[in-house]
């Protein structure tokens, strides 16, 4: 479980997060949504351990975040950033294998052979046929799949996704989130995802947390959170909310004010 109590953080003299509290239970998939500048990525940085709050308490599995060693945290938490991997002179298989770094000794060796795990993750992410291809010969969507495979090979108990679908077309967006959801269910890991697309967030997440001006504006199931009044208040956008004909989750239809 990941629990934050009254977390606050200022950057360059500006308050970015104010009195933010949450609880993410093990095995769930949680979405953090909200407008640009709301503090979503900053909150993810606190959970990942790459930033420290000015006030409040953060605990991972009941242990204060500050008491985790860097190596222990790297084995427990993995972060998938937006935009995929930058082109580098390595093959897909080599990059994916880099996810095993937290388990290696100073000679780059492990007690057990990671090859079977790497092969399984390459297959799960649809990368087996690209294993020997150079990263710089891949499309942006393919590189993002490689980035996902790399964090999966890390075998974290907590996966943090920072706007992972921002630069992907809709096909790659669904493919990536389907893979994450399948893996989350099979392994029982916890996933916390910063997402811009409210419809994707409602489709894939068990609960949503809405950040606005550094504060939690609303939280709960997609059914409780995604509504026209909240979208108007938080995003300043007119919308109609309908039920998805297959899943039944709320889906947002934006309404243009032009010509009214």
* In contact, 151 and 118? CB cutoff 8 Å: no
For 72-84, write each residue's pLDDT tens digit. Answer: 888 899 999 776 6
17 is written with which tokens? 């997060």
Residue ranges of domains in the chain: 2-221
Q: CB under 8 Å to 259, separation ≥6 — which residues?
A: none
β-bridge partners, 218: 210
For 16-52, write each residue's pLDDT tens digit. Answer: 999 999 999 999 999 999 999 899 999 999 999 888 9
Torsion sign (Cα): 4, 43, 37, 15: positive
**Taking the model in full, what pTM does it have?**
0.91
For 184-218, write each residue's pLDDT tens digit. Answer: 999 999 999 999 999 999 999 999 999 999 999 99
Instruction: State how far the Cα of 52 lies from the Cα of 68, in Å rounded to an integer.
Output: 13
For 106-161, write each residue's pLDDT tens digit. Answer: 767 777 788 999 999 999 999 999 999 999 898 888 888 999 999 999 999 999 99
Instruction: State how far the Cα of 149 lies from the Cα of 118, in Å rounded to an integer.
Output: 8
pLDDT attached to residue 17: 96
Class of domain 2-221: alpha beta
Beta-carbon count within 10 A of 147 CB: 24
168 is written with which tokens? 């992907």
pLDDT attached to residue 87: 63
For 231-252, write each residue's pLDDT tens digit. Answer: 999 999 999 999 999 999 999 9
232 is written with which tokens? 């108007």
* In contact, 163 and 195? CB cutoff 8 Å: yes
Buried b (16+ CB within 10 A) or exposed e, 17-55: bbebebebeeebbbbbbbbeebbbbbbbbbbbbebebee
HEC per residue, the chain: CEEEEEEEEEECCEEEEEEEEEEECCCCEEEEECCCCCCHHHHHHHHHCCCCCCEEEEEECCEEHHHCCHHHHHHHEEEECCCCCCCCCCEHHHHHHHHHHHHCCCCCCCCCCCHHHHHHHHHHCCCHHHCCCEHHHCCHHHHHHHHHHHHHHCCCCEEEEECCCCCCCHHHHHHHHHHHHHHHHHHCCEEEEECCCHHHHHHHCCEEEEEECCEEEEEECHHHHCCHHHHHHHHCCCEEEEECCCCCCEEEEECCCCCC
Instruction: State how far the Cα of 149 lies from the Cα of 126, in Å rounded to an integer.
Output: 10
* In contact, 8 and 56? CB cutoff 8 Å: yes
């Amino acid at each position: 479980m990941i629990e934050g109590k009254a977390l606050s953080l200022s950057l360059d003299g500006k308050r970015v997060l104010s009195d933010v509290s949450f609880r993410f239970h093990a095995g769930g998939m949680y979405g953090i949504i909200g407008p640009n500048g709301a503090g979503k990525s900053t909150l993810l940085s606190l959970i990942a351990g790459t930033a420290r709050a000015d006030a409040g308490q953060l605990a991972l599995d009941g242990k204060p975040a500050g008491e985790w060693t860097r190596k222990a945290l790297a084995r427990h938490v993995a972060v998938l950033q937006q935009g995929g991997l930058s082109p580098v002179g390595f093959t897909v298989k080599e990059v994916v294998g880099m996810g095993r770094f937290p388990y290696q000794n100073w000679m780059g060796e492990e007690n057990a052979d990671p090859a079977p795990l790497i092969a399984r993750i390459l297959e799960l992410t649809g990368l087996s046929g690209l294993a020997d291809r150079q990263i710089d010969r891949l499309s942006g969507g393919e590189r993002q799949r490689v980035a996902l495979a790399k964090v999966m090979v890390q075998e974290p108990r907590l996966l943090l996704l920072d706007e992972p679908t921002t630069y992907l077309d809709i096909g790659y967006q669904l493919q990536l989130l389907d893979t994450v959801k399948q893996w989350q269910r099979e392994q029982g890991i916890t996933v916390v995802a910063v997402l811009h697309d409210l419809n994707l967030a409602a489709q894939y997440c068990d609960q949503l947390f809405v950040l606005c001006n550094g504060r939690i504006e609303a939280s709960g199931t997609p059914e409780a959170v995604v509504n026209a009044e909240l979208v108007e208040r938080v995003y300043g956008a007119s919308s109609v909310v309908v039920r998805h004909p297959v899943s039944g989750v709320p889906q947002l239809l934006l309404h243009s004010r032009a010509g009214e």
